[in-house]
Amino acid sequence: MSQKIEGVLTAIVTPFDNEGALNLDALRRQVDRQLSAGNGIFCGGTNGEFFVLNEAEKIAVTRTCVDEVAGRASIIAHIGEVSTRETIRLGKQIEALGVDAVSVITPWFVPLKQQELIAHYTAIADALTVPVFLYNIPVRTGNTIEPETARILAAHPNIVGIKDSAGSDESLRRFLDAVKDIDGFDVLNGPDSLIHQGFVEGCSACISGLANVAPTAVNTIWSRFITGDIAGSRQAQASITGLRTDLYNVAFSPAAVKKALQIMGYDVGESRYAVTFTPQQESAIRRIVAHIAH
C-alpha cells in the first residue's frame, strides 16, 4: 500500500433500483456523502450484500467506487469467495481497478482447519499484487481465524492486516496482542460497538456499517481520538452504540441499514435477500433515525 489505512472506512451499501438491478448513480451519491464526512470506502462487504451480487456486479460496484473516490480517500474491496480459485479470479479483476487493498472473508459452509486457512490465504496473497487483509467473521462463515494463524500469515509480504468482525473486545484484543510486534500488519475493527475501544487498543481503522446512516457521527469517534480528545471520542462512541443497539434489534444489519437510509430519503432500494419489514418495524426505524444528521 502507498499509505497506511487509518480512520473510518464505511462498509458502503449497494443500491438497487426498483427492478432490483444495480443503481450505480445512487452508489456514487452515497460514496460522495461518505467522502464529505471524511470517511473512506469499503465496498462489496456484508453491508454491500456481496452474497447476492454476481461477479460482474461486484466488479461494477468496485469500479464505480474507485472512480468516485478518485484518490481522495482509502478504498478496500472485498473479494472473498468459497473457493481459493474463485477468490483469486475475482481478485485479479478487482486489483486491476486500482483499489488500495482487498479483504478476503474465510470460506463458508465447509469447516476448515487452521492449516487449510493458511494455505487458502497464502495462495491468494501469492497470486495477487494488491495488499490483502484477512477478514474474520465466524458467526457468518462458521470458520474462525485464530490469532496465531493471523500471526503466521502476517509473515507474508502481501498480507497486511486483518479485519476482525467476531464481535467482542476479547477477540479484537487477542489479534492485537498476537501481532503487536509485527510492523506493517494492522488490525481493523469491524463491530460498530467497539470503534473507540479498537482505536484505544491499537486498531488503525474501523470498517463501519452504521456510517452509512450516520457518517459524521461515526467519523467523530476517530477525529476526536486522533487529536487526543479521548473522552470526546468515548462520548461519540456512546451515541453510536445506542443507535446500533436500537437499529439492529429491529433487523439484521444490511437490510436495517438500507431501510434506515430509505426512510432518511436516500434512494438505495431494497435488499436482495429474503427479508421483509412490518409497518411496526418501519415505524420503529423511523423513530430511531429521526434525529440523525444526514
Known catalytic residues are 135, 163
Phi and psi at residue 152, in whole multiples of 5°? -60, -45
C-alpha grid cell for residue 205? 481503522
Q: Based on the number of CB atoms within 10 Å of its own CB, is 87 exposed (0-12), middle (13-18) or buried (19 or more)?
A: buried
Burial 224-243 (b: 16+ CB within 10 A, else e): bbeeeeeebbeebbeebbeb
With vertex at residue 208, the alpha carbon angle to CA 38 and CA 282, rounded to the nearest 5 degrees, is 110
